[in-house]
Amino acid sequence: MVEYADDEQGGPQPVEIPRTAPCGAEGQGSCCTRRHSVRERKTSPGHPLVVMVCKTHKRYFTLYPLGHMPYGRTPVLEVTAEGRPRSQALSPASLRETLFAAAVDASESATLWPRDSEHGRPSLRTQRRQVKRAAMWLGLDAPTRPAEQMAHILDVDLLLHAQVHARYRAASTTRSRATCVVDLLAALSVDGMLLIRLLRAGHLAGVCPEAWWWVPGAGYGYPSFRSPRRSLPASVFGGRPGVNDLARS
């Protein structure tokens, strides 16, 4: 993931082209990256994405704007170009354009999706599947030990997570399960590290490929899952020391 910004021609372009790639992160020689092509996108983020190639390791990788996960059609979170959440709290309104939208809709009684899919519109079956995926993402659709681990990664109060987890496991309808998802999202701390915490939780739950966050000016990428080898510059996250919390977990 990189920061995209409008260039002089008007289209969003990466602010900085990564000089290294995930393929070179394990010490198998230095990457030699260059811009390869662009991929047109019909779905979010609605603008072409730059495809890179590493000539050393003969690997291709796509630069997504911050907030998008690899191969995802919908943002994980609505964030600014620098990766900070756009909202002060994860209210239902702030989640409408994210992959948690199905849970938000299902938690509100009037907006269950149609039972039968017409003309490619999403169906109730899709909504149920997406609610389950959102619950997996947050450690609710999981046994107790992994759920506790997920609470730690999400930096949410362990007792609160356990209570919502118990409610989720006892829930018998899509709506009540979705309400648990929405309640837990509302309890997350909204700060500059939220996106990386969510990406990390999604990766651990097996519902999100590993993403790398290229830090402009720093000269390295930051993996969403593995512990960082060094701290991010304070400017990236407004000086909040949360990255060290991630390193401990």
Residues in contact with Zn ion by the rule CB under 5 A: 21, 23-24, 31, 54, 56-57
- Choose between 19 and 169: whose C-beta lies nearer to Zn ion: 19
Min dist CB 128 to Zn ion, Å, is 40
Min dist CB 21 to Zn ion, Å, is 4
Q: Are strands 212-215 and 59-63 parallel, antiparallel or unpaired?
A: unpaired
Min dist CB 24 to Zn ion, Å, is 4
- Choose between 56 and 176: whose C-beta lies nearer to Zn ion: 56
Type of residue numbered 151: A
The closest alpha carbon to 136, from 123, 146, 124, belongs to: 146
> d(Cα 232, Cα 243) in Å, to the nearest integer?
7
Min dist CB 184 to Zn ion, Å, is 37
- Choose between 21 and 181: whose C-beta lies nearer to Zn ion: 21
Let me know: does 139 contact 205? Beta carbons within 8 Å.
yes
